[in-house]
Structure 1
Amino acid sequence: MLFDRLKRFAVVLDCPELDAPPVFSSGESVAGRVVLELTGEARLGALHLHAQGCAKVHWTESRSAGSSTAYTQSYGDQVDFLSLRETLLVPPDNGDVTVLPAGRHEFAFTFQLPESLATSFEGKHGSVRYWVKAKLHRPWSTVKTVKKEFTVIEPIDINTPTLLAPQAGAKEKLARAWYCSRGQVSVSAKIDRKGYTPGEVIPIFAEIDNCTSRTVVPKAAIIQVQTFTARGAKKQKKCVVASIVGDSIAAHKREVWHGRALKIPPVGPSILECHILRVEYVLKICVDIPGTSKLLLELPLVIGTIPLHPFGSRTSSVSSQYSVNLDWLRTGITEQLEAPPEYSLVVSGNESLESPPLPCPNSPPNLLEGPFFAYIQEFRLRPPPLYSEVDPNPPSENSIRPRCMTC
């Protein structure tokens, strides 16, 4: 039988890093091979390859139809992102089987991922998975199947004007106890941008005013919100991925956070393009008020995969919204600037001697005569002196004019 001679049957994906699991993005090529190791000669049929990827959601809810009647309602849906089929080993046309000798046999394959995919995800009520499956047919026996999963991460670049825009909000709440007002609690918060990547620190700027007669405690947390949709119904699951607790605020006091740090742990990126499964993040600022419900303020977050550029900063969100057209500047500058002409080529020796003096219409006729004007005419067309860091005519001590202390 084949199982007696089949030593290994596996799907191997080519990956640059052998120790790391294979990770791909939309539009990339997935390459690999199906490996068969036989201990003896074997008669085989067709060898098919299936590449699949889909998002699935499923959950159940209990419904009450009366005082003593209850039933369970199921919800489920599926979206296919990838479905490819390929035959790696084709049997002969005469209906016979293929005979392979003992040893190692490899069947290479390659396919390209579509342009629109969702990031791999595993949740309580749904998942996004991708895999490659190989099916080996053999005469008079069951089909042998082997499966290899791989990860897809859709790139999310946070260096966009939308994700670089600051996020801010404010809320207030009136604390009551036994229908009596105990004062008001207000919170206003701001973060530098909307998009972050795992490992970054979110600086939180906030002001919490406690106008009540009790002590309140502020907190901040990053919440992951999983939303599953099927047959018009929605199911949500929220979990805290990171949190911090601030100092207690006494009655009629104010607390100010000057960039309180909250680090993002290694979590999966946001999934925003799948209509049956979404993964979103929010920054929630909470104030615990004794005797009444909590004061909550939420700011939206997007966890991306492409981090902020090294030159990106708080001003990058502003500068990215404005573009300067420099075409007019490029047209005014030639590709290669020409060197200026030499002085001897512009003014010759004969020209300097024959050039007439510059007329001055507003000057009296005798002003341009005399030894002083002749001195100017002598050096008017000569080249400038050579540059030197040493002053050839240093000032003497007698030439220094004393400074008047009364001025």
Structure 2
Amino acid sequence: MSSKVTFAFDNNPLGVYQSGQVISGTAELITDRPKTIRSIFITLNGYAETRWQETEERVGEDGKTTKSLVTHTTTEVYYSLDQYVYGQSAGSQLELPKGKYVFPFRTTIPPNAPTSFNGTHGQVKHEVTLTIDRAVRYNNTFKQCFTVILPHDLNKRQEYAEPLKRIEEKSFWWGSIFGGNKPMVMDVSTSYSAYVPGQKINFHLVMDNQSDVQCQDVKVRLLKNVSYRANSSGTKEQLKVTESRVADKHCGEVLKHNKARFDEFLVVPPTTPTSQGERDPIRVTYTLRFIAKTFRLHGGGDLVVDFPLTIGTVPISGSASDKGPGHTDKSQANGNSYEGSPNFQEDVSEEQFESNTFKARYPVYPFDGKPGVASNGTNGSSNTPSLYPRAEGTHPVAPAPFTPNPVSPIGPKTAPYPVHPPGTHKSPPYPTNPPVAPASAPGGNFEVLGFSIPPGYQPTPSAPAGAPTAGIGWK
């Protein structure tokens, strides 16, 4: 065991950021023996990746059909910024003395960087990486994922405040055998068509079972639908769609020739917000499904009512007072009816893309039925609560004292990859904030502020037991 790296984010122990926000922190490298290396560089990047395999049948020239396993994949890079902090790209061999090194890093996340996601066939990943480029042996690479959330304010679209309402009925052939064919009727409504994690989806449901078929159970489910896109084949775009249950409610049975009313709720768990981009490689949508479960023997299947539902990151103004359909006075909604600052909890989904065990954290509001106040400290002067530390309201972190490298001075901004010419940066595929001079407010290009051991610096405490290491550890 020769090297260990611990990453720490400034004033953000959970590592949760909003798109467009400044991210800064330190990478602490401890090595217990000298190393022969070429350089050390730090990278911050964000990208989407999808991959899955399918069996396809193809007809050969001889007319015979053969089956083959085809891999569909795609990758989209949103940003990738790197900086050499010890030595130079493709430089001569250096000796890294044993000891502790602290490398501060800082950059601005692009304003439309997508929300972190980890699923069965793909991921949206944001991470900081420290790489030790070794002259003879394999490189040492240390990574730490962090969560990025693209804000989704539900107050920006009026239709989100509209209720969901529908009446559906279903007839069964079982009743026609005995001379009757009356339907099973379900009347469903909710207060809104969009919610945030931590919020109750209050619903009103009337089941009028006029049929001769018993309803075994009335179920309510919140389903997450994920669409994965791939274009690796070069011929046409491939699509893979999955559906998973993130919340469930059992209301009870309704006997034949009976009528029942249910005023219940379903709590939205920590889960990925609804995607806002139409052509993203990974898109997340939600369905709120009401099911009247029947015996298969009776024919016709279950009575099902589906609603498209939106999950956001900022709740609808006034939604804290929601008591269910028909009980919320939306005319009393105002910009102060928020539930306070959210906490950030790990995604409830157990899905993961290949070896990625990182769980993103999403904002969860402490809904308790009591209207809150705007959480940005402005006494209601803003209609949007501050979910994350604002860059303009954060005091700049004092840079660590810089000690020049006695072996090799820090080289110019170059990239470690052949596709990235020396002296340039890899550009994201969309406009970002223009570079800002080092003396101005945080933002712009990626900066490494030097390295040294600041006076009185203490090693970063180890992560709590059970916390994901994201590849951090001894090499």
Instruction: Output the TM-score relative to the length of structure 1.
Output: 0.68
The partner residue of 1:239 within 240, 244, 247 is 244
Per-residue CA shift, 1:98-137, capped at 9, x if unaligned? 5555432222221111011221111111111111122223
| Residues 318 and 332 in structure 2, CA contact (< 8 A), matched pair in contact too | no
Q: Match of 1:340? A: none
Per-residue CA shift, 1:36-74, capped at 9, x if unaligned? 334466554322222221111112222345797322232
The partner residue of 2:111 within 112, 115, 129 is 115
| Residues 272 and 280 in structure 1, CA contact (< 8 A), matched pair in contact too | no
Q: Match of 1:384? A: none
The within-5 A match list for 1:83-122 is 83-91=80-88, 97-98=93-94, 101-122=97-118
Q: Match of 2:196? A: 197
Offset of residue 14 of structure 1: 1.7
Offset of residue 140 of structure 1: 4.0
Q: Distance in 2 between matches of 1:49 and 1:31?
A: 12
Q: 1:317 to 1:9 in 2, by over 3 A?
A: farther
The code of the aligned residue for 1:244 comes to K
Q: 1:287 to 1:89 in 2, by over 3 A?
A: same
**Do residues 214 (structure 1) and 199 (structure 2) align?**
no
Q: 1:311 to 1:85 in 2, by over 3 A?
A: same
| Residues 175 and 182 in structure 2, CA contact (< 8 A), matched pair in contact too | no
| Residues 11 and 134 in structure 1, CA contact (< 8 A), matched pair in contact too | no
**Do residues 262 (structure 1) and 266 (structure 2) align?**
yes
| Residues 175 and 212 in structure 2, CA contact (< 8 A), matched pair in contact too | no
Unaligned runs of 5+ in 2: 232-236, 322-327, 335-475
Q: 1:158 to 1:103 in 2, by over 3 A?
A: same
The code of the aligned residue for 2:218 comes to P
Higher Cα radius of gyration = 1
**Do residues 154 (structure 1) and 150 (structure 2) align?**
yes
Q: Match of 2:386? A: none
The code of the aligned residue for 2:127 comes to W
Q: Match of 2:39? A: 46
Q: Distance in 2 between matches of 1:92 and 1:279?
A: 40
Instruction: Output the TM-score relative to the length of structure 2.
Output: 0.59
The partner residue of 2:49 within 34, 56, 71 is 56
Matched residue pairs, number?
312
Q: 1:263 to 1:102 in 2, by over 3 A?
A: closer
The within-5 A match list for 1:134-173 is 134-160=130-156, 161-173=158-170
| Residues 51 and 132 in structure 1, CA contact (< 8 A), matched pair in contact too | yes
Q: Match of 2:292? A: 287
Q: Distance in 2 between matches of 1:16 and 1:203?
A: 36
The within-5 A match list for 1:210-359 is 210-216=209-215, 217-231=217-231, 232-257=237-262, 259-273=263-277, 275-290=280-295, 291=298, 292-309=300-317, 313=321, 314-316=328-330
Q: Distance in 1 between matches of 2:238 and 2:135?
A: 47
The partner residue of 2:66 within 64, 69, 72 is 69
Q: Distance in 2 between matches of 1:210 and 1:172?
A: 9
Q: Distance in 2 between matches of 1:200 and 1:319?
A: 16
| Residues 8 and 35 in structure 1, CA contact (< 8 A), matched pair in contact too | no
| CA RMSD in angstroms, aligned pairs only | 3.0
Unaligned runs of 5+ in 1: 321-407
| Residues 161 and 316 in structure 2, CA contact (< 8 A), matched pair in contact too | no
Residue 162 of structure 1 aligns to a residue whose secondary structure is helix
The code of the aligned residue for 2:225 comes to V
Q: Distance in 2 between matches of 1:203 and 1:34?
A: 46
Per-residue CA shift, 1:176-227, capped at 9, x if unaligned? 2498573312222111012212222111112222221121132211111111
Q: 1:311 to 1:262 in 2, by over 3 A?
A: closer
Q: Match of 1:131? A: 127
| Residues 6 and 28 in structure 2, CA contact (< 8 A), matched pair in contact too | yes
The code of the aligned residue for 1:207 comes to V
Q: 1:318 to 1:60 in 2, by over 3 A?
A: farther
| Residues 156 and 305 in structure 1, CA contact (< 8 A), matched pair in contact too | yes
Q: 1:141 to 1:61 in 2, by over 3 A?
A: closer
Q: Distance in 2 between matches of 1:236 and 1:125?
A: 9
Q: Match of 1:12? A: 7
Q: Distance in 2 between matches of 1:165 and 1:203?
A: 13
Identity of aligned pairs, percent? 22
Structure 1 outlier segments of 4+, above 6 Å:
317-320
Q: Distance in 1 between matches of 2:198 and 2:171?
A: 37
Q: 1:311 to 1:188 in 2, by over 3 A?
A: closer
The within-5 A match list for 1:370-389 is none
| Residues 164 and 317 in structure 1, CA contact (< 8 A), matched pair in contact too | no
Q: 1:250 to 1:179 in 2, by over 3 A?
A: closer
Q: Distance in 1 between matches of 2:155 and 2:288?
A: 19
Offset of residue 285 of structure 1: 0.6
Q: 1:243 to 1:38 in 2, by over 3 A?
A: closer
Q: Distance in 2 between matches of 1:96 and 1:307?
A: 55
| Residues 5 and 30 in structure 2, CA contact (< 8 A), matched pair in contact too | no
Offset of residue 312 of structure 1: 5.7
